[in-house]
């Protein structure tokens, strides 16, 4: 199990792409598993590597009770239509607020086997992915609160 530090200054730093040749290493495969386990243990919908003190572009997202690992995710398209939904964060406990985000995104990413994907996301999964990618870019949901 990994530790999720609260209010860490490191959360404000941009993460680096994970080198493709590291994806299949036993150490990285163990990290992917631990990231997902930590997300579920904390009752989270998502968890980004920077939230557990790793400055790499990796996120875990709970999709219908299954952990999906997205490596070097990159949003290539955002819908013009947006919605406003209340969010919280495991790294900012006790804080909640409304955030406006695109209703649909298209994202390119690598999976934990190193395979490239391009996929559209909507609904809650879409929102969680955007929230977690913000962590990779050094942003927190509290930076985007609707006043």
Tell me: is residue 131 an annotated ligand-binding position: yes
Q: How far is 15 from 17, CA to CA, in rounded Å?
A: 7
On whether 89 is known to bind a ligand per the annotation, the reply is yes
| Rounded alpha-carbon distances, angstroms, from residue 61 to 27, 44, 73, 147 | 20, 9, 12, 27
For this structure, is 132 an active site residue? Answer: yes
pTM, two decimals, is 0.95
Flag whether pLDDT at 7 surpasses 80. no
pLDDT tens, 93-133? Answer: 999 999 999 999 999 999 999 999 999 999 999 999 999 99
Residue pair 77/105 in contact (Cβ under 8 Å)? The answer is yes
Q: What is the pLDDT of residue 5?
A: 83
Look over the chain and give the mean of its residue pLDDT values, rounded to a whole number.
Answer: 96
In this structure, are strands 58-63 and 66-78 parallel, antiparallel, or unpaired?
A: antiparallel
9-144 CATH: 3.90.45.10
Alpha-carbon span 74 to 28, nearest angstrom: 20
CB-based contact 115:139 (threshold 8 Å)? no
Separation CA 69–CA 73 (nearest Å): 10
Instruction: Sketch the domain layout of the chain as residue ranges.
Output: 9-144
What pLDDT score does 45 carry? 97
Each residue of 118-136: b (16+ CB within 10 Å) or e? Answer: eeebeeebbbbbbbbbbbb
Q: What pLDDT shows up at residue 8?
A: 78
Q: What pLDDT does 10 receive?
A: 87
The closest alpha carbon to 145, from 107, 103, 104, 92, belongs to 92
Please tell me the number of Cα atoms within 13 Å of 6 on its side-chain side. Answer: 7
Q: Which of 50, 8, 9, 16 is nearest to 31 (CA)?
A: 50
């Amino acid at each position: 199990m990994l530790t999720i530090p609260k209010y860490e200054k490191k959360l404000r730093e941009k993460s680096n792409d994970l080198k493709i040749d590291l994806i299949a290493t036993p150490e990285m495969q163990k990290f992917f598993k631990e990231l997902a386990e930590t997300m579920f243990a904390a009752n989270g919908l998502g968890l980004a590597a920077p939230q557990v003190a790793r400055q790499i572009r990796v996120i875990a997202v709970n999709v219908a009770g299954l952990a999906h690992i997205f490596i070097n995710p990159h949003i290539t398209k955002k819908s013009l239509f947006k919605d406003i939904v209340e969010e919280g964060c495991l790294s900012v406990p006790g804080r909640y607020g409304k955030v406006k985000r695109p209703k649909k995104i298209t994202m390119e990413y690598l999976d934990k086997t190193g395979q490239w994907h391009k996929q559209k996301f909507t609904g809650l999964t879409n929102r969680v992915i955007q929230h977690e990618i913000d962590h990779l870019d050094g942003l927190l949901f509290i930076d985007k609160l609707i006043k």
